[in-house]
Chain A
């Protein structure tokens, strides 16, 4: 479990110990055959249903299938409180193409986007269906005066809410613990905002793409020290979608299926004050499960692109360490050395991530999977990472800062 590297840095870390997290490797293979997006924006005219329809219709079109070919539908969308609509998964059904279909909501807060492909994968891998539509949607802007109000209720009603918390607290507390454990500077963290907002300049759906310097990020207002405003992802509306197919159907539809090689997820205790805030163990557990399924034994060699969840700048680094793609406390050093740039040894968030493209929560996780789909097919154009990447990992995080959801996608 420990990386235990005594030299050579993150690039030469030892193999991941297999941990028997899955009973057996599922036999039925599942591929991604289509992807679609709406624009990501601060405030959309469109309703959540309309945004879902835009993304779902585009995914179906890109896969070359119609809604009537779809046998099951997964819808990922985060708290009902954003919309003020109870049972919003069911309400969004029409936009997600779920009418008169086996339909399920995938919901683990911010982790929902990647949980949606995991849920869709179970429907195909189990042999139930050959063609499944996966949709992620979020419309945060309806919640007034600020969608943070929807997050207040994640704090314990008896022992936390009387203290007057807000969502920024937990991120600021976690970032500070991460920094103090490893002696990191805020400059090291700010570089994530710079990289991702830069990468997003090449994403046509992007909401907050910008060319910035570390100095600009640190000159932005302190919202909750050590978190500055430009280290926080924006409030967003948007949707994203994928089409999943069984091997037989995928081979009929495309010459370039992208395989779901492994999936994993895990949740840690809701007594979050009792956790090690410097290291996301639950992400590690989810990653180990996904790697075991995918046959990945040396993630730093075998993973060529990573799309970790980056709602706050430090989160990308935190998650890279949980994903075993950097040594504990060393991801900032790797970042500073350019390892995670689009042209680096391990491109991280070549899409621009949540910090650059935007953070319509469940849709943002699906957007990361869309990016892997395009990158692995060599179709990412201005965003294409060099070489011929064969395998990528996407990860999301959420609930009460306690869930890790991981999917490994690859060309074989």
Chain B
């Protein structure tokens, strides 16, 4: 066992004044000197979609975005849910929404979850779908843009940019959120349907 020692740090006149313990491993120690035990778990799950999201996914397969309405608080929201979490009662109606909306916020992400660099960035965004309450958005991607730099992308989209869903071909759809490939800016002459 490596001998626990205090990390050398400048003597600072500040608490805790009792000696602090902990042995930070150097890369060398971690890779060579210190034995570790590795385990890669294999866990598999089959998640049921639930009543509300199941119908939402069926809608996507048909090229439609559905929301739900609560007549007590008056909200139309998507993704759909079976009950209103504010009024705690069943939702009152299903609403077919247009496949257009507005970018609430977006990011331009150059790393994967394990911090590997991405040459072509992912552009996650919260899209407020038309016909829902303000800020009634959901997470999706923006695509169909030119260039890969922050500057190039920001000349094409901003918070407030109007966007429309780009769908997979009907035969390729599988009742998944990815049946929408991404959202892309509406061209000026294009009208929301």
Contact = CB atoms under 8 A, between A and B. Distances in A.
Interface of A: 35-46, 51, 54, 58, 61-62, 84, 144-146, 148-149, 151-152, 157-160, 162-169, 172-174, 176-177, 180, 202-206, 221-227, 237-238, 269, 271, 273-277, 370, 374, 379-384
B166 to A, nearest CB: 14
Q: Which 7 A-B pairs have the closest CB atoms?
A: A39-B22, A172-B107, A41-B24, A177-B105, A166-B113, A381-B14, A45-B23
B185 to A, nearest CB: 16
B83 to A, nearest CB: 12
Contacts of B138: 159, 273
Contacts of A205: 16, 20
A163 B124 contact: yes
B91 interface: no
A38 B34 contact: no
B150 A164 contact: no
A163 B115 CA distance: 17
B82 interface: no
Contacts, number: 201
Interface string B99-125: 000001111111111110000011011
B80 to A, nearest CB: 10
Interface residues of B, number: 66
B111 A160 contact: no
B107 A381 contact: no
Contacts of A151: 113
B14 A176 contact: no
A180 B107 CA distance: 12
Does more than half of chain B's interface fall in helix, strand or loop, or is it mixed? loop
Contacts of B124: 163, 165, 169, 172-173
Contacts of B20: 37-39, 54, 58, 204-205
A205 B24 CA distance: 11
Contacts of A169: 107, 109, 124, 139
Contact of A374 (B15, B29, B114): B15
B140 interface: yes
Does more than half of chain A's interface fall in helix, strand or loop, or is it mixed? mixed
Nearest to A45: B23
Nearest to B136: A274
Contacts of A227: 107
A173 B105 contact: yes
26 contacts: A39-B6, A39-B20, A41-B7, A41-B22, A45-B34, A84-B41, A146-B113, A152-B113, A157-B47, A159-B53, A160-B177, A163-B139, A163-B140, A163-B178, A180-B159, A204-B20, A221-B110, A222-B110, A222-B150, A225-B107, A225-B110, A273-B79, A374-B16, A381-B13, A381-B14, A381-B15
Given A45-B23, A58-B18, A224-B108, A202 B49 contact: no
A230 to B, nearest CB: 14
B22 A380 contact: no
A45 B110 CA distance: 31
Contacts of B122: 164
Contacts of A164: 122
B141 interface: yes
Contacts of A381: 12-15, 17
Given A38-B20, A162-B177, A163-B124, A84 B39 contact: yes
Nearest to B128: A273
Contact of A176 (B53, B107, B115): B107
Nearest to B115: A146
B63 interface: no
A164 B141 CA distance: 10
Interface string B152-177: 00000011100000000000000011
A173 B125 contact: yes
B150 to A, nearest CB: 5
Contact of A158 (B21, B53, B112, B150): B53
A38 B21 contact: yes
Nearest to A62: B18
Nearest to A209: B9
Given A224-B107, A275-B135, 16 more contacts: A44-B25, A152-B113, A158-B47, A158-B49, A159-B56, A163-B177, A163-B178, A166-B111, A166-B113, A168-B111, A169-B109, A173-B106, A223-B110, A225-B107, A274-B133, A382-B13
Contact of B105 (A148, A274, A277): A277
B114 A225 contact: no
B77 interface: yes
A203 B17 CA distance: 11
Given A158-B177, A168-B109, A271-B77, A45 B135 contact: no
Interface string B34-63: 100011010001010100010011000000
Contacts of B74: none
